[in-house]
A and B are shown apart, each in its own frame.
Chain A
């Protein structure tokens, strides 16, 4: 078969028993990444709102970081979708002719609404800083600095008023935006769950619980990623300062790494959402088994035989139970917490995998199975886009973006 005639899905689908000829795993790794990345966005935002709306003052530093990090994650939530589209340049059609009876149609609108909320909120939080920079860089000679000043002028949108009154307004606006942002963030992700939950042809996906399960696990993974990134960055700062100045230097003590209190507090929220997520997932599973509809025979086959290791060992065991115990057993230190967080992130990823790929592991005929052979070596563009390398590109992008954004919006500065 020549380069032009690639049958989408044939490269990575292995069929067993009777599967309809047109059936392939059409939604592969990219679609696993999509709810995962969206979930991280939603979770990061919810974490930042804990401070802005609910006044959890001790989370202030983490919240500032989480807000900017959620901005860095934002374009990345869209990336796997663009990689997945057979006609990526037509993606804008979703905004031009949205067919609202489709769960995907609202994506453009919900997503851009959310993007605007995040951007506005960041603007209100950092406006004072932008204006200060504009003033500070006023008389600089170097071209780079003048360029930098220009960027800040644009970023400030011409609002240079730094009176107490204006600053107070900023604060109010932040609170309101954060409050609006929580339901929108949850909606953004809940509806990612709806995309799957509403597919009546798919026996595994179709469930009204799907959106709720997705929101809960989204918040879990979002909080976990923010905490983990925060821990790594702060510890790295501490470590590099110690290296640069030597242990005896007084300034090293000021740059103390992560504060355990902050992490402990965030952990409490994390565990709460984790319990909710697992409870709902188990409820879904039990209900399917008990009602034992037509599809149960094949679902049972997939869950207890074909995908047993992925679901019960990797997802529930290593991804949920183990980190849960690690966090619950008293005396958790930074290192143990960090490992537990990484496991939780892995667990949520496996959950997405088991939903997206697991939902296509059996044929619509209920008489056959499909295995997913993840494309690794990209023989052609499609195998890159849909393969591990594409997924790694997606996973690496938020950190690159954060690095750039953080140059202009210093989210890691201590208050």
Chain B
């Protein structure tokens, strides 16, 4: 019998070899250092492209204007021109293909985001027209009286 003391070591080596084999099969080839160093740039490179390939859901005002020029013009003429269409109409996604129609958020809560009165000193919020949500026609939708595309009170 040769040296039996080495046997546990051989078992250990076998285990390591097994692990390394499994690793070479399982780990994608593009896994490695791609960034500035090992600390911050050790990753699977193709993941960057996977992130880039994600679809964008919000398409922006100009996308809406391509078809809905009337609505676009009306809001652009109002104080609400700074608001994106999709803030109230929801993300366009691939509209009109998918989804065919967008659901408009007409809830009070949506308007209150800016128009619930919070008169904080030295803030832009205090300068926005504000109402007390409890006092001001509680229970009714804002759009019953106010046209979001022509919000000023003179046009009411």
Contact = CB atoms under 8 A, between A and B. Distances in A.
A and B in contact, CB less than 8 Å: yes
Contacts of B11: 157
Indicate the member of B8, B23, B26 with the most A CB atoms within 10 Å: B8
Interface string B1-32: 10111011101100100010011001100010
Kindly state the interface size class of chain A when it binds its partner: 20 to 34
A95 interface: yes
Given A116-B8, A158-B7, A159-B7, A96 B27 contact: yes
Interface in A62-113: 95-97, 99-101, 112
Contacts of A99: 38, 42
B4 A161 contact: yes
Contacts of B31: 97
Interface of B is mostly: helix
Interface in A125-144: 127
Nearest to B7: A157
Interface in A157-175: 157-161, 166, 169-170, 173
A157 B22 CA distance: 24
Nearest to A99: B42
Interface string A367-407: 00000000000000000000000000000000000000000
Interface of A is mostly: helix
Contacts, number: 44
B1 A116 contact: no
A169 B1 CA distance: 13
A120 interface: yes
Interface in B53-92: none
Nearest to A116: B12
A159 B11 CA distance: 13
Contacts of B42: 97, 99
Nearest to A108: B19
B140 interface: no
B137 interface: no
9 contacts: A95-B19, A96-B23, A96-B26, A101-B38, A120-B8, A120-B12, A123-B7, A169-B3, A173-B5
Interface of B: 1, 3-5, 7-9, 11-12, 15, 19, 22-23, 26-27, 31, 38-39, 42
